[in-house]
Amino acid sequence: MAGGPSSTWAARGAGWAGFIVDPISLSPGIPVVEAVFGEGRAEANGFSYREPTMLAPRKLTLSVVEQSPVRQGGSGREALLETLQLAEAVDAWGYRRFWLAEHHNLPGIASTSPEVLIGEVAARTQRIRVGSGGIMLPHYSALKVAENFRTLECLHPNRIDLGLGRAPGGDQRTAAALAHPGRMRDVRHYPDQIDDLMGYLDGDLPSGHPFAGVQAGPDPGTRPEVWLLGSGIDSALMAAERGLPFSFAHFFGTAAAQGPAIVEHYRDRFQPSPELDEPRLNVALQVLCSEDARVVEGCLASMKLGRINMARGVGLGLVPPEEALAHEFSAEEEVFLTRSGMSSIAGTPESVVREVLELADRYQTDDVSIVTFSYDFQVRLRSFELLAESFGLAGAGESA
């Protein structure tokens, strides 16, 4: 890994599935990478915002962001089958959406192709909306993405969401491999790609467009619901200018500190559109809920050690809690974890509900997505069940 602690490897990223990497060193001679998720870090600094009026305790709309985590000693196949099992369960429990992430060249994550998984998840579920969280559009042709999601919408009408981001979903070398033998697309074209994609989905590219008249088939008669995803001001403003719903990744790195200011700018700049009359915000949180404090402690240690292993490029999946609890974190590792902005809510149902509601109040939204990591899949499944019960979702208590 070339470069010292001050060098930067990649341009700012944006969107949920991606991160940029800044080389840092946990100890002399051992450079690792700091995952800094999202975009607009510098632009967001110094934003002022009005403190929101606190809302009364209430029911929330809960959704899932799924990354198909792989455990050490496990396989990608096992992770994907667990994703399908989770989808069936949360569908029964009353969750609103199930979004699948896009990551590349990360051994601990099996969700590389959300457009493939969406069809399988939708076929195995009945009520829940299914979509991408998100498609990293700069890797692809807007026309091809429109065709993929129009096909999904034909097969599962009024149930498909198309979440979009612009991050690489991995490192820059992997992004180059995805583009080979062509060149990587300039992310500055991302706003134009969004506009082209909307035009293909609606069948109304402007007459002066170089591809006017090109149609994305098949025509489903309805359209997937399009969301912009991000953790910085750039994505928020792109969503606002186009009148699109925005999903903010609170759990990404350092995004949380500026989150309320960023989403206020989304609301202030929002332009009504055929899609929406007023702003629509979802916020994504990392949450682990358990009745057993020892389970919570083990999961938190596992996530911390997993973050460090991934940064060092030695991560082979989720770490067993026993191994993580036995690990003595060095001062350098603790500094790294602080700098990387690891943000999660973990605890008993009562404490988790309180913290989730506090963040929902800060963001002034009733629409919350949950991402959960656990070495033990049954712990992860139970966490989603406890949240459904605690927030009184319609299907809570039903067998999955």
CB atoms within 10 A of CB 271: 11
What local confidence, expressed as pLDDT, does residue 32 receive?
Answer: 29
Q: What is the pLDDT of residues 344-359, one digit of tens each?
A: 899 999 999 999 999 9
What is the SS3 assignment for 81? helix
Sequence-ordered strand ranges (E) for 45-171: 61-66, 97-100, 129-136, 160-165
Asked if residue 193 is part of any domain, the answer here is: yes
Asked if residue 118 is part of any domain, the answer here is: yes
Amino acid code (one letter) for 219: D
How many Cα atoms occupy the beta-carbon half-sphere of 69 within 13 Å?
Answer: 24
Dihedrals phi, psi of 270, to nearest 5 degrees: -60, 135
CB atoms within 10 A of CB 153: 24
- 300-309 mean pLDDT: 90
Question: Taking a C-beta distance cutoff of 8 angstroms, is the pair 150, 88 a contact?
Answer: no
Indicate the burial class of 316 (C-beta count within 10 angstroms; 0-12, 13-18, 19 or more). Answer: middle
For residues 65 and 187, which has the higher predicted lDDT (pLDDT)? Answer: 65
Q: 270 lies in which domain range?
A: 61-284+352-390
Asked if residue 119 is part of any domain, the answer here is: yes
Asked if residue 362 is part of any domain, the answer here is: yes
Amino acid code (one letter) for 173: R
How many angstroms separate the CA atoms of 181 and 337, rounded? 37
For residues 56 and 116, which has the higher predicted lDDT (pLDDT)? Answer: 116
- What is the DSSP-derived secondary structure letter of residue 71? B
Dump the DSSP string for 304-369: HHHHHHHHHT---SBPPHHHHHH----HHHHHHHHHTT---EEE-HHHHHHHHHHHHHHHT-SEEE
What local confidence, expressed as pLDDT, does residue 400 receive?
Answer: 59
Asked if residue 209 is part of any domain, the answer here is: yes
Asked if residue 395 is part of any domain, the answer here is: no
- What is the DSSP-derived secondary structure letter of residue 13? P
Q: What is the pLDDT of residues 137-190, one digit of tens each?
A: 999 999 999 999 999 999 999 999 999 998 877 778 888 898 889 888 888 899
CA-based nearest residue to 313, from 13, 69, 31, 10: 31
Domain count, the chain: 1
Tokens of residue 290, six digits: 């358990």
How many angstroms separate the CA atoms of 244 and 232, rounded? 16
CA-based nearest residue to 97, from 125, 138, 72: 125
- Position 221 pLDDT exceeds 50: yes
Asked if residue 325 is part of any domain, the answer here is: no
pTM for the model: 0.85
Axis-axis angle for helices 293-312, 331-339 (nearest 10): 90
Asked if residue 152 is part of any domain, the answer here is: yes
CA-based nearest residue to 239, from 251, 226, 252, 249: 226
Check which CATH number belongs to the domain holding 219 and give it.
3.20.20.30
Distances (CA, A) of 234 to 40, 178, 228, 237: 6, 24, 11, 5
Query: What is the radius of gyration, based on Cα positions, of the chain?
Result: 20
- The partner residues of 357 in beta bridges, in order of sequence, read none
What is the SS3 assignment for 259? helix
* Greatest mean pLDDT among 40-54, 163-177, 378-392: 378-392
CB atoms within 10 A of CB 294: 10
Average pLDDT of every residue of the chain = 85
- Position 281 pLDDT exceeds 70: yes
Question: Taking a C-beta distance cutoff of 8 angstroms, is the pair 368, 285 a contact?
Answer: yes
Torsion of CA 50, 55, 58, 63, to 10 degrees: 0
Question: Taking a C-beta distance cutoff of 8 angstroms, is the pair 121, 152 a contact?
Answer: no
- 207-223 mean pLDDT: 94
- 54-72 mean pLDDT: 83
- 194-220 mean pLDDT: 95
SS3 content of the chain, % helix, strand, coil (to 5): 40, 20, 40
- Position 287 pLDDT exceeds 80: yes
Question: Taking a C-beta distance cutoff of 8 angstroms, is the pair 14, 167 a contact?
Answer: yes
- 268-297 mean pLDDT: 96
Dihedrals phi, psi of 310, to nearest 5 degrees: -65, -40
